[in-house]
Structure 1
Amino acid sequence: MIKSPLPQIATLALALAASCSAQDEGLTRYEQSQKSEQWEPKPEIVDTHSGIPSDAIVLFDGSNLDAWELDNPEAKPWKIEDGAFTVIPQKPASGIHTKQAFGDVQLHLEFRSPTDIEGHDGQDRGNSGIFFMGRYEIQVLDSYQNETYVNGQLGSIYKQYPPLANPARKPGEWQTYDVIFIAPRFHEDGSLKSPARMTAILNGVLVQYDAVLYGPTQWIGFPEYTAHAEKLPLSLQDHQHFVSYRNIWIRELDGDEIQNRTVHPGLKKSW
């Protein structure tokens, strides 16, 4: 009969622990605490005194839409007024997208739903949307005392995840989204390596936490991944409503680095 090595391993582990404890006996408590300190790598310094992180890319500061372009170049440009820009409903509809492409990001923006809501309800009130990589939507909608399907209301990852709460403000009031988006990864053969993920805070309230996306947003049917570029533009939707936006900035992230951060070699996972 082959004996299990577990008892020997356990004995060795106890011996090593005892040896380490013996070595620590001659150290002060402060010296012992130093053994678990980590000094490298040092985090990048980010200045936030202006209200915008110093490493952020400003996509709209209230003055121009130079960072954006219309989906339909022949459409009317969205209107800039009082430090904000507003969707100009038109047919055919034309959203806007960033000239720069992005992958993993932290996004901040503010939006406002129109106050003219007479005769409008459900999805027909303050409808727009934020599309990461032009594919993965977190919903913009007037969800203040406005019933609709929960995976299509404000704060939802459209047609995938209802929000964890509904902190919607009244029409005409400015609201804030802060979103972390981690792009999907694909193998060389086009198969999915890891899905997209999203965390979102709406008006200071957590509405999505590390949600694993099932694929790109679909209005009809269910999502399914197909391989695409590592970086693609961010888009805002024209859904025929006068939704306004302001104070938009974005920080590029590295999801792989976040997932595999360097930690002290003495740390051991117990899960």
Structure 2
Amino acid sequence: MKIQLLSLLFLFGAQGFAQNLLELSNLNDFKPQIGNWKVVGEVQVNPAIDVHDMQNHEQETKSKKRRRRRKEVEERPKAVAYKSGTGILLNMNDSEKKDRLETRWKHGDIKLDMEVMIPKGSNSGIYLQGRYELQLKDSWGVIHPKVSDMGGIHNNWETDPDKIFRGIPPLHNACKAPGLWQKLNIHFQAPKFNDKGEKMANARFVSVVLNGVVIHTNVEVPQYTGSPIEKNEVSEGPLVIQGDHGPVAFRNIKYQLLEPSDVSMSAISYKTYKGEFKGLEELQDADVVTEGQTQFIDVNLTGEEDNYGISFSGTLNIPEEGLYHLSLGYTGGVAFYMDSVSVLQKNAADRQEMLDTTLTLSQGEHDFVLNNIKSAGWRAPRLGLTVGTASTYPSTFHTYDSYPPAINTVSPIFVQPNTEPRCLRAFVSFGGDGKRLSHTIGVGTPEGVNYIYDLGSGNLVGLWRGDFVDATPMWHERGDGSFKPRGAVQWTFLNQPIAQLSDAKALFPETGHAPEFISKGYVIDETTRLPVFKQVYRGVDIENRIEPNSTNTHVVREVRFSETGVQNWYFKLASGIIQQRPDGSYAINGEYYIKLLTDQVPVMREVDGETELVIAVDGSLVKYELIW
């Protein structure tokens, strides 16, 4: 048998191949530098301290030590602290040590994933090929981001009109608060040159995604940006990280080098059929309507919109043995065979989806057969096949019209606050694809600070900044009752956060499992125009207010009780991996902060394999910030 089906974890987009991982157990992947870069095991950032203030203080301290060596100099809290170990790449530059970090390997087209942590006021940059800078900066709270803000493609400072590049700002500010881990995904295409060295295509950021938000899509960069390693453009260059503007940390750096694919198809023939086929096996006894040779897979060879069948056969030419990823898009039903082995199949007549698989293929020729039927008048004919490897772009073997890019034929229905907040009831799947919550309400503000509140549990379950929601899934035709937040949602935790517990290890009740908890809906505050959520628990009235803070960077939650002196009541603030920060806040999963504004003292407890941050409540005010 020439092929072997594999079950692989799809780690990177449609291609489904694992990336190269920089293990960060040492700095062997990088060229030598002066010492500001190091590998560590843990980094803690004090989000209240600006790195520039800290650096100024350190300079003053050095000066004072020189003048008064025998006198103690005041010690201040540090903006960045770290512990020894491996797995995290950290830059701690100063006035004397401020080298860039440059990989020993070079790249052309590349897909790059990483997580980055930026202290307050800090600044760095990722230089693709050492020449095209994607800005890394603490831009938390910036309303209108510029090219110099987080995710901007930086300008240069050339004066020659042919070399000036003004930069490209990000589409959105998706930057998180300082000291939190932020996810960055980059797909970069290098400039292309002919045999004479003449540039035929500009460098291009195919896509850049920050914290789940697309901030660049298919933008060209016609010149190098500011401070490149060389003022020229090349087909390959190193990955470079700026090291002279401030502390910055990285982890989980993965990359995938991409080249054109040499996979090809030849001797493609086709046969078309007419009929209301219900299963692929019906093609065996069907009469052939037309047949012939073709250069590409093209479902339009049937000449029909519906009730058709088509079969392609030919040879797939594999240049070298290795792993190959096949993606097959279709409407109706489909079957793909290689060397008489079933590779992909969905025996139906009315489906519309993409099937993927990964194979080990030997070098040489492989016979294939591709069958497709469709009896679904409400779907357009579509059939497309791509084949690629871990290090190549997928080769496309269909015509554009046979499988055109997906186009939304429905005008989106956006809901956006104007001068006042907006509230919208909907179904919501926690985490985007998790437990479906049936009694949730989305709240959007004109300032762009939005959240999802679960009326069933009295819990704040998700927050995001930017535009409010896409209500198309809810209101188009019959709808499904849900909306899509138009930003990267920071999810918190599920179930009821307020409960009377029998002991310190008892579980908080699941939503709907505490009959003493009754939701009373909400009223609109006349001043803020925001909802005030109301519940009754064990005869005590509870009010929840969730409002943007004064600078519109995060929210403040305030919980009031109608009675004091309640016994054995607890309030769950967060759940997950919890670390206390030097400023008194708590980092939750490295994704957001909780900072208590009242006098209760939080306690971390381990319950049912989960760490929870809880406070004892007696009916007094609970007030805290949720910062992301």
Q: 2:21 aligns with which of 36, 52, 58?
A: 58
Deviations 1:66-120 (A, max 9, x none): 21224xx444442423231211213352011111111101000100111xx4xxx
Q: Mark the CA change 1:215 to 1:165 in structure 2 (over 3 Å): closer, same or farther.
A: same
Q: 1:152 aligns with which of 148, 151, 157?
A: 148
Determine the structure 1 residue equivalent to 2:395: 261
1:51 shift after superposition: 8.8
Q: Mark the CA change 1:149 to 1:45 in structure 2 (over 3 Å): closer, same or farther.
A: same
Answer 1 or 2: higher relative contact order, Cα 8 Å, separation at least 6: 1
**SS of aligned partner of 1:218:** coil
Q: 1:88 aligns with which of 89, 92, 100?
A: 92
Determine the structure 1 residue equivalent to 2:183: 176
Q: Mark the CA change 1:203 to 1:269 in structure 2 (over 3 Å): closer, same or farther.
A: closer
Note the 1:118-157 alignment, pairs <5 A. 125-146=121-142, 150-157=146-153
1:190 shift after superposition: 3.2
Q: 1:48 aligns with which of 1, 4, 9?
A: 9
Q: Which amino acid aligns with 1:48?
A: L
Distance of 2:6 and 2:393 partners within structure 1 = 20
Distance of 1:51 and 1:262 partners within structure 2 = 19
Q: 1:218 aligns with which of 226, 229, 236?
A: 226
Determine the structure 2 residue equivalent to 1:197: 204
Q: Does structure 2 conserve the Cα–Cα contact (< 8 Å) formed by 1:67 and 1:100?
A: yes
Is 2:243 the counterpart of 1:238?
A: yes
Q: Which amino acid aligns with 2:184?
A: Y
Q: Mark the CA change 1:112 to 1:265 in structure 2 (over 3 Å): closer, same or farther.
A: closer
Give the alignment's TM-score, normalised by structure 2: 0.31
Q: Mark the CA change 1:148 to 1:170 in structure 2 (over 3 Å): closer, same or farther.
A: same
1:180 shift after superposition: 0.1
- Residues 87-96 or 103-112, more deviating: 87-96
**SS of aligned partner of 2:147:** helix
Q: Which has the higher strand share?
A: 2
Q: Does structure 1 conserve the Cα–Cα contact (< 8 Å) formed by 2:27 and 2:39?
A: no
Q: Does structure 1 conserve the Cα–Cα contact (< 8 Å) formed by 2:193 and 2:200?
A: yes
Q: Mark the CA change 1:215 to 1:50 in structure 2 (over 3 Å): closer, same or farther.
A: closer
Determine the structure 1 residue equivalent to 2:104: 99
**SS of aligned partner of 2:396:** coil
1:162 shift after superposition: 0.5
Distance of 2:251 and 2:93 partners within structure 1 = 18
Deviations 1:125-159 (A, max 9, x none): 22011111111111100010257860110011112
Q: Mark the CA change 1:152 to 1:127 in structure 2 (over 3 Å): closer, same or farther.
A: same
Determine the structure 1 residue equivalent to 2:370: none
1:252 shift after superposition: 1.0
Give the alignment's TM-score, normalised by structure 1: 0.67
Distance of 2:128 and 2:37 partners within structure 1 = 21
Q: Mark the CA change 1:128 to 1:265 in structure 2 (over 3 Å): closer, same or farther.
A: closer
Q: 1:163 aligns with which of 165, 170, 180?
A: 170
Distance of 2:198 and 2:400 partners within structure 1 = 36
- Residues 188-197 or 172-181, more deviating: 188-197
Q: Mark the CA change 1:256 to 1:166 in structure 2 (over 3 Å): closer, same or farther.
A: farther
**SS of aligned partner of 1:245:** strand
- Segments of structure 1 that go 5 or more residues without pairing to the other structure are 1-41, 118-124
- Segments of structure 2 that go 5 or more residues without pairing to the other structure are 43-86, 156-166, 263-391, 405-628
Distance of 2:133 and 2:150 partners within structure 1 = 11
Q: Which has the higher helix share?
A: 1
Distance of 2:187 and 2:131 partners within structure 1 = 15
Q: Mark the CA change 1:218 to 1:256 in structure 2 (over 3 Å): closer, same or farther.
A: farther
1:187 shift after superposition: 2.7
Q: Mark the CA change 1:178 to 1:255 in structure 2 (over 3 Å): closer, same or farther.
A: farther
Is 2:69 the counterpart of 1:69?
A: no
Q: Which amino acid aligns with 1:64?
A: N
**SS of aligned partner of 2:106:** strand
Q: Does structure 2 conserve the Cα–Cα contact (< 8 Å) formed by 1:190 and 1:226?
A: no
Q: Does structure 2 conserve the Cα–Cα contact (< 8 Å) formed by 1:191 and 1:227?
A: no
1:254 shift after superposition: 2.3
Deviations 1:203-240 (A, max 9, x none): 000000011112111269xxxx8442x22111111133
Q: Does structure 1 conserve the Cα–Cα contact (< 8 Å) formed by 2:142 and 2:173?
A: no
Q: Mark the CA change 1:268 to 1:103 in structure 2 (over 3 Å): closer, same or farther.
A: same
**SS of aligned partner of 2:395:** coil
Distance of 1:143 and 1:266 partners within structure 2 = 41
Distance of 1:99 and 1:238 partners within structure 2 = 17
1:170 shift after superposition: 0.5
Distance of 1:136 and 1:179 partners within structure 2 = 12
Deviations 1:6-50 (A, max 9, x none): xxxxxxxxxxxxxxxxxxxxxxxxxxxxxxxxxxxx9x9793368
